[in-house]
Structures are given as C-alpha cells and as structure tokens.
Amino acid sequence: MTAVQVPYSELVRWSSVPPLRGYDLERMSVDEVELLLRLRLQGFAARGHAWQQALLLAVSPDAT
C-alpha cells in the first residue's frame, strides 16, 4: 500500500465523491488515478453502499 499526500484544500474539495470522466484519466498520472479511485470508493462506502457495490460505482465513469 502506498500513501499520497494531499493538500487540505484538495481534501475539502473532494469531501464528496469526485467525478470520474474517461477523458480525464488519459491526462492523469498513475498516482492521481489511484487517489481518485480510492476517494470514490471511500465516498460511496460512506454513503452506505456495500463494498462490492461501492467498488463498482467507484470504477464506473460518470455520465457526461
């Protein structure tokens, strides 16, 4: 497991589930994608989804 430092302003900005758009992924580094997916998983789990459903939602791109 790795840790990625995130400025507090980014943490506050991403306190809800951050969006996932396919075209954004092409411009992101591996560390950024890892952080994004982890934050999405945590966000959906915090909304009460079982981990399996939260994982599916986290990796599914949002509708544009």
Label residue 30 by pLDDT band (50, 70, 90): very high
- Residue 21 — very low, low, confident or very high, per pLDDT cuts 50/70/90? confident
Looking at the chain, how many residues does it have? 64
Does position 1 have pLDDT exceeding 60, yes or no?
no
Q: Tell me how crowded residue 40 is: count the other CB atoms within 10 A of its CB.
A: 22
pTM for the model stands at 0.70
Mean pLDDT of 49-55: 94
* Tokens representing residue 1 in the block: 């497991």
Domain ranges of the chain: 22-64
